[in-house]
Amino acid sequence: MHSARTRRRQDGMRRAEYTERMSSAFLTDRYELTMLAASLRDGTAGRPSVFELFSRRLAGGRRFGVVAGTGRLLQLLREFRFDDDELRFLRDNDVVDAEAIRYLERYRFTGTILGYREGELYFPGSPVLTVEGSFADAVVLETLALSVLNHDSAVATAASRMSIAAGERPLAEMGSRRAAEHSAVAAARAAFIAGFGATSNLEAGRRWGIPTMGTAAHSWTLLHDSEEDAFRAQVQSLGVGTTLLVDTYDIRTGVETAIRVAGRELGGVRLDSGDLPIVAAEVRAQLDDLGATGTRITVTSDLDEYAIAALAASPVDAYGVGTSVVTGSGYPTAGMVYKLVARQDAAGGWVAVAKASADKASRGGRKAAFRSLEDGVAVAETISVADGFEPVDVAGSHPGARAVQVVLVDNGEIDTAHEGPDGTAAAREHHLRVREELPLRALALSKSDPAIPTVFTEQE
């Protein structure tokens, strides 16, 4: 009995240590390790290989996609280690054999990863990520890469559409309560990269340097004996520059009370219900009549890109978006896949390989990607395909185009410029810059073909 209690206590301690240390090695699927084990047995584990992460089509008939999650992926790659706890689990559950255990014990990714810069636009067939290394080294990264980039890119694509619809009006992400706790942090980061200016999530603020915002919910008003008491207490705590939530009871009464309590210098009012175009116009007129012409109106009621676009002519100053942005506005995954596209054969020669399944075919060969431009406007996604491994096309081979791939990992060395708050800020700047290259038709919200075609060329 004592031994059983001791084991349970030790297991609990190990679980606690796991949550603190959080190796990323088990953020994966079992079959990646069983393939690795089998390749060690048959001698193919060390074959140089090229894997590619791409999307066959854009989710939801969107006209462009936004790459996000790269900085997070690189950090997780740094933590991709099989330590004692992971190896014990694999051994105790007969996941892989002893030879694979020994391999994983020493595992460090030593290959090279090229990819689209975070914040970059992508289209069907864009080689968003190219992973070069031995088969064993590269195959185990499939699930990790897909889980990060599929989620973050879906959120960023939705967020970019919302940012375009909002124009110059600021957007705040406030969807943490509609996502899993870690997904919420990732979603806040992706939304910020794609044009949102702030988040309600404190961990996202701490980890990624994103500005945070937030004042009070309806519960604050309901806590007090009157709406006036609630407003007065909030203003005393946060100052007259705060934003008061005026729709807990009657909106018109709430606005009148807010200005009586805070004065004409009140920073803002928030509307979270009602027919927003009508309500916003009525509140603006009421604020102006009360002399609060500088008081801003923020709306936060189940907004998505279509609702934001519908408010373009309304006197709204800012938007807060929750559920829609953190769930990709109806499309929670970008639909990217991770496929082997080139490898060495038994004789040491490079061969292109591709899946030929109906509706799921891939295009073999290592690829170089360029954004073809005319007068600064994107006209095509040009993908140069090589049958083998060398050489690789350079921008000079494509006049009027810019290369969209960068080296993220060079022979195991991770480029730290893409990580942390600085990497997040750089991704945001890059996205807002390259979004200016989009043709006008790309800015429409209706479902359609991609804004520019993807053109594949054979590398000479």
Contacts 24+ apart (CB under 8 A), 238-242: 239/267, 240/265, 240/266, 240/267, 241/265, 241/266, 241/267, 242/215, 242/266, 242/267, 242/268
Token code pair at residue 197: 């200016």
Q: How far is CA 94 from the centre of its chain?
A: 35
Confidence of residue 459 (pLDDT cuts 50, 70, 90): confident
Cα-Cα-Cα-Cα torsion 444, 122, 308, 321, nearest 10 degrees, comes to: 170
Confidence of residue 14 (pLDDT cuts 50, 70, 90): very low
**In the chain, where the domains are located:** 2-156+331-458, 215-301
**What's the pTM value of the predicted model, to 2 decimals?**
0.93
Q: Is the pLDDT of residue 16 over 90?
A: no
Distance CA 273, CA 73 (A): 38
Contacts 24+ apart (CB under 8 A), 316-320: 316/169, 316/276, 316/280, 317/169, 317/170, 317/268, 318/169, 318/170, 318/171, 318/172, 318/268, 319/162, 319/166, 319/169, 319/170, 319/171, 319/172, 320/171, 320/172, 320/173, 320/174, 320/200, 320/270
pLDDT digits (tens, 9 = 90+) for 334-362: 999 999 999 999 999 999 999 888 777 78
Q: Is the pLDDT of residue 22 over 60?
A: yes
Instruction: State whether CATH 3.40.50.850 applies to domain 215-301.
Output: no
| CATH number of 2-156+331-458, picked from 3.20.140.10, 3.40.50.460, 3.20.20.70, 3.30.2130.10 | 3.20.140.10
Distance CA 416, CA 372 (A): 28
Strand, coil or helix: what is 269?
A: strand
Q: Is the pLDDT of residue 13 over 50?
A: no
Confidence of residue 12 (pLDDT cuts 50, 70, 90): very low
Query: What's the pLDDT at 390?
Result: 57
Q: Is the pLDDT of residue 320 over 60?
A: yes
Average pLDDT over residues 41-45: 96
Alpha-helical regions (H) of 239-362: 251-262, 276-289, 305-310, 323-326
Token code pair at residue 311: 């408010």
